Amino acid sequence: MAADLVFLKLGGSVITDKSSPETAREDVVRRLAQEIRQALAETEGLQLVIGHGSGSFGHSVAHRYRTHSGVVDDHSWYGLAGTSRAAARLNRLVTDWLFEAGLPVISFQPSASALCCARRLVRLEVEPLRRALAGGLIPIVYGDVAMDTEQGFAIISTEQIFSYLVAPLGAGRIVLAGIVDGVYTADPLQQPGAAHRLGHITPRNWPDVRTLLGGSHAVDVTGGMLSKVEAMVDLVSRHPDLTVTVVSGAIPGRVQQVLLGDTAAGTRISNDAGA
Protein backbone atom coordinates (compact mmCIF):
# COMPACT_ATOMS: atom_id res chain seq x y z
CA MET A 1 0.00 0.00 0.00
CA ALA A 2 2.78 2.44 0.88
CA ALA A 3 6.11 3.07 -0.81
CA ASP A 4 7.73 1.73 2.37
CA LEU A 5 5.28 0.19 4.82
CA VAL A 6 6.96 -1.27 7.88
CA PHE A 7 5.35 -3.36 10.58
CA LEU A 8 7.12 -2.62 13.88
CA LYS A 9 6.62 -4.77 16.96
CA LEU A 10 7.59 -3.46 20.38
CA GLY A 11 8.14 -6.65 22.35
CA GLY A 12 6.50 -7.18 25.71
CA SER A 13 9.90 -7.96 27.20
CA VAL A 14 11.03 -4.46 26.26
CA ILE A 15 8.03 -2.33 27.14
CA THR A 16 7.15 -4.10 30.41
CA ASP A 17 9.00 -5.56 33.35
CA LYS A 18 8.12 -9.25 33.06
CA SER A 19 9.28 -9.89 36.63
CA SER A 20 6.69 -7.47 38.02
CA PRO A 21 2.97 -7.91 37.23
CA GLU A 22 1.43 -5.16 35.12
CA THR A 23 4.48 -2.91 35.18
CA ALA A 24 5.06 -0.89 32.03
CA ARG A 25 8.40 0.71 31.23
CA GLU A 26 7.23 4.22 30.47
CA ASP A 27 10.75 5.56 29.96
CA VAL A 28 11.50 2.91 27.33
CA VAL A 29 8.25 3.48 25.44
CA ARG A 30 8.79 7.24 25.42
CA ARG A 31 12.36 6.78 24.13
CA LEU A 32 11.15 4.45 21.40
CA ALA A 33 8.48 6.99 20.49
CA GLN A 34 11.17 9.59 19.88
CA GLU A 35 13.18 7.15 17.76
CA ILE A 36 10.12 6.37 15.67
CA ARG A 37 9.29 10.04 15.27
CA GLN A 38 12.84 10.85 14.16
CA ALA A 39 12.89 8.01 11.63
CA LEU A 40 9.61 9.19 10.13
CA ALA A 41 10.93 12.73 9.91
CA GLU A 42 14.06 11.57 8.08
CA THR A 43 12.43 9.14 5.63
CA GLU A 44 9.98 10.35 3.02
CA GLY A 45 7.25 7.81 2.27
CA LEU A 46 7.83 5.71 5.39
CA GLN A 47 4.61 4.43 6.96
CA LEU A 48 4.15 2.23 9.99
CA VAL A 49 1.82 -0.22 11.59
CA ILE A 50 2.93 -0.64 15.20
CA GLY A 51 2.20 -3.74 17.26
CA HIS A 52 3.17 -4.67 20.78
CA GLY A 53 3.19 -7.66 23.06
CA SER A 54 1.41 -8.00 26.40
CA GLY A 55 4.46 -8.64 28.55
CA SER A 56 3.68 -8.68 32.27
CA PHE A 57 0.09 -7.57 31.64
CA GLY A 58 -1.75 -10.22 29.63
CA HIS A 59 0.54 -13.22 30.05
CA SER A 60 0.03 -13.80 33.78
CA VAL A 61 -3.78 -13.83 33.49
CA ALA A 62 -3.67 -15.99 30.36
CA HIS A 63 -1.37 -18.49 32.07
CA ARG A 64 -3.58 -18.70 35.15
CA TYR A 65 -6.70 -19.52 33.13
CA ARG A 66 -4.96 -21.44 30.31
CA THR A 67 -6.55 -19.05 27.86
CA HIS A 68 -4.45 -20.34 24.95
CA SER A 69 -6.24 -23.70 25.29
CA GLY A 70 -9.71 -22.21 24.93
CA VAL A 71 -12.61 -23.45 27.05
CA VAL A 72 -11.21 -25.89 29.62
CA ASP A 73 -13.45 -25.29 32.67
CA ASP A 74 -16.19 -23.09 34.12
CA HIS A 75 -13.76 -20.22 34.71
CA SER A 76 -12.38 -20.09 31.16
CA TRP A 77 -14.64 -17.35 29.81
CA TYR A 78 -13.91 -15.16 32.82
CA GLY A 79 -10.22 -15.72 32.18
CA LEU A 80 -10.73 -14.68 28.57
CA ALA A 81 -12.30 -11.41 29.69
CA GLY A 82 -9.47 -10.81 32.15
CA THR A 83 -6.80 -11.47 29.54
CA SER A 84 -8.47 -9.09 27.10
CA ARG A 85 -8.80 -6.44 29.79
CA ALA A 86 -5.12 -6.66 30.75
CA ALA A 87 -3.91 -6.49 27.14
CA ALA A 88 -6.14 -3.50 26.45
CA ARG A 89 -4.87 -1.72 29.55
CA LEU A 90 -1.27 -1.92 28.34
CA ASN A 91 -2.35 -0.86 24.87
CA ARG A 92 -3.98 2.25 26.30
CA LEU A 93 -0.74 3.22 28.03
CA VAL A 94 1.41 2.60 24.95
CA THR A 95 -1.00 4.47 22.68
CA ASP A 96 -1.11 7.45 25.04
CA TRP A 97 2.68 7.68 25.34
CA LEU A 98 3.21 7.44 21.59
CA PHE A 99 0.52 10.05 20.93
CA GLU A 100 2.04 12.40 23.51
CA ALA A 101 5.30 12.18 21.53
CA GLY A 102 3.51 13.62 18.51
CA LEU A 103 2.82 10.37 16.67
CA PRO A 104 -0.63 10.15 15.00
CA VAL A 105 -1.43 6.73 16.44
CA ILE A 106 -4.83 5.07 16.52
CA SER A 107 -5.48 1.78 18.28
CA PHE A 108 -7.36 -1.14 16.72
CA GLN A 109 -8.46 -3.84 19.16
CA PRO A 110 -7.79 -7.15 17.36
CA SER A 111 -10.39 -9.14 19.32
CA ALA A 112 -13.15 -6.88 17.98
CA SER A 113 -12.89 -8.46 14.52
CA ALA A 114 -10.50 -11.43 14.73
CA LEU A 115 -11.59 -15.03 14.26
CA CYS A 116 -9.44 -18.13 14.68
CA CYS A 117 -9.80 -21.78 13.75
CA ALA A 118 -7.72 -24.14 15.91
CA ARG A 119 -5.56 -21.19 17.08
CA ARG A 120 -4.89 -20.06 13.51
CA LEU A 121 -5.99 -16.54 12.62
CA VAL A 122 -8.38 -16.83 9.69
CA ARG A 123 -10.18 -13.50 9.69
CA LEU A 124 -9.36 -9.92 10.68
CA GLU A 125 -10.99 -6.71 9.47
CA VAL A 126 -8.40 -4.93 7.32
CA GLU A 127 -10.23 -2.03 5.67
CA PRO A 128 -10.19 0.26 8.74
CA LEU A 129 -6.40 -0.09 8.98
CA ARG A 130 -6.05 0.56 5.25
CA ARG A 131 -8.08 3.75 5.53
CA ALA A 132 -6.15 4.88 8.60
CA LEU A 133 -2.87 4.50 6.70
CA ALA A 134 -4.32 6.41 3.75
CA GLY A 135 -5.14 9.23 6.15
CA GLY A 136 -1.56 9.41 7.42
CA LEU A 137 -2.26 7.68 10.72
CA ILE A 138 -0.24 4.96 12.45
CA PRO A 139 -2.45 1.98 13.34
CA ILE A 140 -1.59 0.14 16.53
CA VAL A 141 -2.45 -3.53 17.06
CA TYR A 142 -1.39 -5.86 19.85
CA GLY A 143 -1.36 -9.40 21.12
CA ASP A 144 -4.92 -10.14 22.14
CA VAL A 145 -7.60 -12.81 22.44
CA ALA A 146 -9.86 -13.94 19.62
CA MET A 147 -12.90 -16.14 19.20
CA ASP A 148 -12.06 -19.60 17.85
CA THR A 149 -14.42 -21.88 15.92
CA GLU A 150 -12.79 -25.03 17.31
CA GLN A 151 -11.93 -24.30 20.95
CA GLY A 152 -14.10 -21.32 21.83
CA PHE A 153 -11.33 -18.76 21.88
CA ALA A 154 -7.56 -18.43 21.55
CA ILE A 155 -4.69 -16.03 21.95
CA ILE A 156 -3.29 -14.28 18.89
CA SER A 157 0.20 -12.82 18.89
CA THR A 158 1.37 -9.65 17.22
CA GLU A 159 3.37 -11.83 14.82
CA GLN A 160 0.21 -13.67 13.78
CA ILE A 161 -1.55 -10.37 13.15
CA PHE A 162 1.39 -9.04 11.14
CA SER A 163 1.52 -12.24 9.09
CA TYR A 164 -2.16 -11.87 8.26
CA LEU A 165 -1.77 -8.20 7.29
CA VAL A 166 1.34 -8.47 5.09
CA ALA A 167 -0.49 -9.28 1.87
CA PRO A 168 -3.55 -7.02 2.11
CA LEU A 169 -1.59 -3.99 3.29
CA GLY A 170 1.54 -4.62 1.22
CA ALA A 171 4.22 -4.44 3.91
CA GLY A 172 7.81 -4.67 2.72
CA ARG A 173 9.50 -4.98 6.11
CA ILE A 174 8.81 -6.29 9.59
CA VAL A 175 10.93 -5.17 12.54
CA LEU A 176 10.69 -7.21 15.74
CA ALA A 177 12.20 -5.23 18.61
CA GLY A 178 12.77 -7.55 21.56
CA ILE A 179 15.13 -7.59 24.51
CA VAL A 180 18.13 -9.13 22.71
CA ASP A 181 19.79 -7.80 19.57
CA GLY A 182 18.94 -10.55 17.12
CA VAL A 183 18.78 -14.34 17.04
CA TYR A 184 21.60 -16.07 18.92
CA THR A 185 22.98 -19.59 19.16
CA ALA A 186 22.82 -19.35 22.97
CA ASP A 187 21.27 -17.04 25.54
CA PRO A 188 23.27 -13.77 25.32
CA LEU A 189 21.95 -12.78 28.75
CA GLN A 190 22.88 -16.07 30.46
CA GLN A 191 25.86 -17.21 28.36
CA PRO A 192 27.40 -14.11 26.76
CA GLY A 193 30.65 -15.90 25.95
CA ALA A 194 28.93 -18.74 24.12
CA ALA A 195 26.31 -16.67 22.31
CA HIS A 196 26.88 -15.85 18.66
CA ARG A 197 24.52 -13.64 16.74
CA LEU A 198 23.23 -15.00 13.45
CA GLY A 199 23.43 -12.25 10.85
CA HIS A 200 21.16 -13.71 8.20
CA ILE A 201 18.55 -16.46 8.15
CA THR A 202 16.88 -17.69 4.96
CA PRO A 203 14.46 -20.51 4.13
CA ARG A 204 17.43 -22.29 2.55
CA ASN A 205 19.66 -22.25 5.65
CA TRP A 206 16.86 -22.52 8.19
CA PRO A 207 17.08 -26.33 8.69
CA ASP A 208 20.72 -25.98 9.77
CA VAL A 209 20.02 -22.88 11.85
CA ARG A 210 17.10 -24.57 13.57
CA THR A 211 19.36 -27.43 14.63
CA LEU A 212 21.70 -24.90 16.23
CA LEU A 213 18.85 -23.28 18.13
CA GLY A 214 16.93 -26.42 19.03
CA GLY A 215 19.00 -27.35 22.06
CA SER A 216 19.30 -23.86 23.44
CA HIS A 217 17.15 -22.58 26.27
CA ALA A 218 18.09 -19.08 25.18
CA VAL A 219 16.05 -19.11 22.00
CA ASP A 220 12.97 -18.70 24.20
CA VAL A 221 14.43 -15.84 26.25
CA THR A 222 12.16 -13.26 24.64
CA GLY A 223 9.07 -15.44 24.85
CA GLY A 224 9.34 -18.19 22.27
CA MET A 225 12.01 -16.91 19.90
CA LEU A 226 12.35 -20.24 18.11
CA SER A 227 8.69 -20.42 17.16
CA LYS A 228 8.67 -16.74 16.19
CA VAL A 229 11.66 -17.14 13.90
CA GLU A 230 10.18 -20.27 12.37
CA ALA A 231 6.96 -18.37 11.64
CA MET A 232 8.91 -15.50 10.07
CA VAL A 233 10.95 -17.88 7.88
CA ASP A 234 7.70 -19.38 6.64
CA LEU A 235 6.32 -15.90 6.02
CA VAL A 236 9.26 -14.71 3.90
CA SER A 237 9.13 -17.95 1.92
CA ARG A 238 5.56 -17.06 0.97
CA HIS A 239 6.34 -13.37 0.40
CA PRO A 240 9.72 -13.24 -1.40
CA ASP A 241 10.06 -9.45 -1.23
CA LEU A 242 9.54 -9.28 2.53
CA THR A 243 12.41 -8.72 4.97
CA VAL A 244 12.17 -9.32 8.72
CA THR A 245 14.71 -7.86 11.14
CA VAL A 246 15.07 -8.98 14.76
CA VAL A 247 16.75 -6.35 16.93
CA SER A 248 16.91 -5.08 20.49
CA GLY A 249 14.53 -2.33 21.48
CA ALA A 250 16.49 -2.02 24.72
CA ILE A 251 19.51 -0.52 22.92
CA PRO A 252 18.99 3.22 22.47
CA GLY A 253 18.91 4.19 18.81
CA ARG A 254 18.64 0.66 17.44
CA VAL A 255 15.00 0.84 16.33
CA GLN A 256 15.60 4.18 14.65
CA GLN A 257 18.69 2.74 12.95
CA VAL A 258 16.74 -0.17 11.46
CA LEU A 259 13.76 1.95 10.44
CA LEU A 260 16.19 4.15 8.52
CA GLY A 261 17.31 1.12 6.52
CA ASP A 262 20.40 -0.22 8.30
CA THR A 263 20.72 -3.88 7.30
CA ALA A 264 23.72 -4.71 9.50
CA ALA A 265 21.97 -4.52 12.87
CA GLY A 266 20.40 -7.55 14.52
CA THR A 267 19.41 -10.62 12.52
CA ARG A 268 17.86 -10.35 9.08
CA ILE A 269 15.38 -12.96 7.85
CA SER A 270 14.78 -12.83 4.12
CA ASN A 271 14.47 -14.87 0.97
CA ASP A 272 17.62 -13.63 -0.72
CA ALA A 273 20.96 -15.37 -0.41
CA GLY A 274 23.00 -12.24 0.22
CA ALA A 275 24.75 -11.64 3.52
What local confidence, expressed as pLDDT, does residue 185 receive?
84
According to CATH, the topology of domain 4-270 is Carbamate kinase (3.40.1160)
What local confidence, expressed as pLDDT, does residue 3 receive?
59
What local confidence, expressed as pLDDT, does residue 221 receive?
32
- What is the spatial distance between Cα 209 and Cα 55, in angstroms, rounded to a whole number? 27
What local confidence, expressed as pLDDT, does residue 43 receive?
95
- Which contiguous run of DSSP H or E holds residue 86? helix 76-100
Instruction: Report angle CA 26, 31, 32 to the nearest 5 degrees.
Output: 100
Neighbours of 73 (CB within 10 A): 10
| Phi-psi sector, 177: left (phi>0), alpha (psi -120 to 50), beta | beta
Backbone angles phi, psi at 172, to 5 degrees: -105, -20
What local confidence, expressed as pLDDT, does residue 214 receive?
54
CA dihedral 81, 84, 85, 87 (to 10 degrees): 160
What local confidence, expressed as pLDDT, does residue 222 receive?
32
- Which residues of the chain fall below pLDDT 70? 1-3, 194, 214-223, 273-275
**Taking the domains of the chain in order of start, what are their residue ranges?**
4-270
